[in-house]
Amino acid sequence: EAQLVESGGGLVQPGGSLRLSCTAAGFTFNTYEMNWVRQAPGKGLEWVSTISNGGGNTYYADSVKGRFTTSRDNAKNTLYLQMDGLRAEDTAIYYCARQSSLAYWGQGTLVYVSS
């Protein structure tokens, strides 16, 4: 069965950086598009980014474009989200999810941006 485990969240000051990881198991990672979706406390779901299966194509929400970078290491079955220039409004649980239909989700990792 497919499994996704996020890590790397935590408390960071405004303007700081954080790198999230999503480790995949139970499926052929390099054949699937991967996504990051976030959820601010008590709010709805917000798509953040998508990366193609080979990593050659990436897409971002306007709210994070130029500040966040999605990448993947298919040899390590791992997806990354490099977050720079963090703002208070980036505070959220960050989920990774497999394929365009978001068929599998990790449990999420909390990013808290505060001074």
Partner 1 sequence: DIVMTQSPDSLAVSLGERATINCKSSQSVLYSSNNKNYLGWYQQKPGQPPKLLIYWASTRESGVPDRFSGSGSGTDFTLTISSLQAEDVAVYYCHQYYTTPRTFGQGTKVEIK
Judged by the rule CB under 8 A, the positions of this chain that interact with partner 1 are 35, 37, 44-47, 50, 59-62, 95, 100-108
Specify the residue, 2 or 16, whose C-beta has the smaller distance to partner 1.
2
How many CB atoms are closer than 10 A to CB 57? 10
Sort strands 18-25 and 3-7 into parallel, antiparallel or unpaired.
Answer: antiparallel
Nearest alpha carbon to residue 80 among 57, 110, 49 = 49
Name the minimum Å distance from CB 16 to partner 1.
Answer: 25
Specify the residue, 62 or 75, whose C-beta has the smaller distance to partner 1.
62
Specify the residue, 61 or 69, whose C-beta has the smaller distance to partner 1.
61
Name the minimum Å distance from CB 92 to partner 1.
Answer: 13
- Helix (H), strand (E) at residue 112: strand 109-113
Name the minimum Å distance from CB 62 to partner 1.
Answer: 7
Specify the residue, 84 or 110, whose C-beta has the smaller distance to partner 1.
110
DSSP classification of residue 63: T
Name the minimum Å distance from CB 21 to partner 1.
Answer: 16
Cβ burial 9-47 (10 Å sphere, 16+ → b, else e): beebeeeeebebbbbbeebebeebbbbbbbeeeeeeeeb
